[in-house]
Amino acid sequence: MPKSSQKQIILSKIKNGQVVIGIVGLGYVGLPLALAYAEKGFHVLGFDIDPKKIEALDRRECYISHLDAARIGQAVQSKRLVATTDFSRLGEADTLIICVPTPLTPQRDPDMSFIVNTTKQIQASLRAGQLIVLESTTYPGTTEELVRGMLEETGLICGRDFYLAFSPEREDPGNAQFFTTNIPKIVGGVDQDSGDLAQALYDQVIHQTIRASNARTAEAAKLTENIFRAVNIALVNELKVVYERMGIDIWEVLDAASTKPFGFMRFNPGPGWGGHCIPLDPFYLSWKARACGVDTKFIELAGEVNRRMPEYVVQRLQQALNERGKSIKGSKLLILGLAYKKDIGDVRESPAYQIIPRLIGMGAQIAYHDPFVPAILPSRHWPKPLALMSQPLTSKAIASWDAVLIITDHTSVDYELIAKHAKLIIDSRGVYRKPLVNVVKA
């Protein structure tokens, strides 16, 4: 079939709502996107290697706390969303959107195993006329070099037989103002036709698409967004430490600086960085830059500063307990908040996962409260056989702990109750702005 005719067939299916959309990876990125297409009337095939996710969706249940379970129920009941672990069905989809994790190795190099394994699955059933879009955050060149190279091993040629693009995810879990469909979407094709088709696909559900000239530029744009945040978070975290030594409250400084109507953008300090993007994505560029013979000093320094923050919080806790004649060993400590940010249940790369093992290793007795994380079971993040349940916040319970350590500032927590009854509060989020005798900023 002529190249132009193949493109027109896919384009016509997209615009007529007849295209079958496959989404690989039904996590924090893939599931909201699948719902967005299903709610616009498209038929969506969702793929995931985790059978528990598929079983939950079949029961019309939602495993992501900030998503409305009613949306899941409607999409599944209408048969607009069908979820499966059967990757042999990838060939049924006209377009495939890859939304799989891109973690780091222990050496802080890119772990491309999820992208590679997914591409191998697609490779096994790739057919002429399919459009493949990678959304997973990665280093510039991944889509064109790695994914294209693997898919063309089938003998099919990108831009002639199949189409390939990159469109970075921009999810912000729990953000009530910005969500999947109203966040502008960057799209960059490996070639012109691939970019045209990918843009047309996202135009069906996204309010605004931004066309990059190629996939590499789109990949670099995503990394730049998160590197900008990582560097500025590191800056305010370093200022927090400096100003504490000077007896200056970083939160008051930021409040004052924020009154400037130009030339200043506020970032808040915390107990460390968290989420799947900020702690990981900058090092994808660092790795690629090293391969090109270039050092990324700002990125590495920002990583160093942010990785030190959990230890700084522990040191502030230790100092505050010492001043009250206690040691961490044997102390009863309440960790307030496990999620990496407020009002969601996402614990990926949360600084709590760095702080709790340190405290346990120092002999502390640990309890926690998080309204969005009801239980923690043993995993690679937690010393076995540690298994904890979120504890209720009562005046009696609060008074029984030697210290309350605020890691995540969920808005539903009664901070006045805690301030009234806690012996000691270590505040790493600036919850308490007015000085209190039992509050120590960290």
CATH numbers and ranges of domains, the chain: 3-213 (3.40.50.720), 251-441 (3.40.50.720)
Give the chain's radius of gyration (CA, Å).
24
Q: Look at residue 263 and give its three-state secondary structure.
A: coil
Digit-coded pLDDT (tens) for 185-241 = 999 999 999 999 999 999 999 999 999 999 999 999 999 999 999 999 999 999 999
Of 28-42, 264-278, 395-409, the one with minimum mean pLDDT is 264-278
Out of 62, 99, 158, 277, pick the active-site residue: 277
Please give the C-alpha separations between residue 319 and each of 243, 337, 412, in angstroms, as whole numbers: 17, 21, 29
| 279 — pLDDT class (breaks 50, 70, 90) | confident
Beta strand pairing call for 81-84 and 95-98: unpaired
More confident residue, 108 or 99: 99
Query: CB under 8 Å to 28, separation ≥6 — which residues?
Result: 64, 171, 173, 276, 346
Q: Which two tokens stand for residue 80?
A: 């607009």
Per-residue model confidence (pLDDT) at position 2: 62
Would you call 262 exposed, middle or buried from its count of C-beta atoms within 10 A (0-12, 13-18, 19+)? Answer: exposed
Per-residue model confidence (pLDDT) at position 171: 87
Of 86-90, 114-118, 374-378, the one with minimum mean pLDDT is 374-378
Annotation marks residue 99 as catalytic: no
Per-residue model confidence (pLDDT) at position 385: 60
Mean pLDDT of the chain: 94
| 40 — pLDDT class (breaks 50, 70, 90) | very high
Q: Is the pLDDT of residue 301 over 70?
A: yes
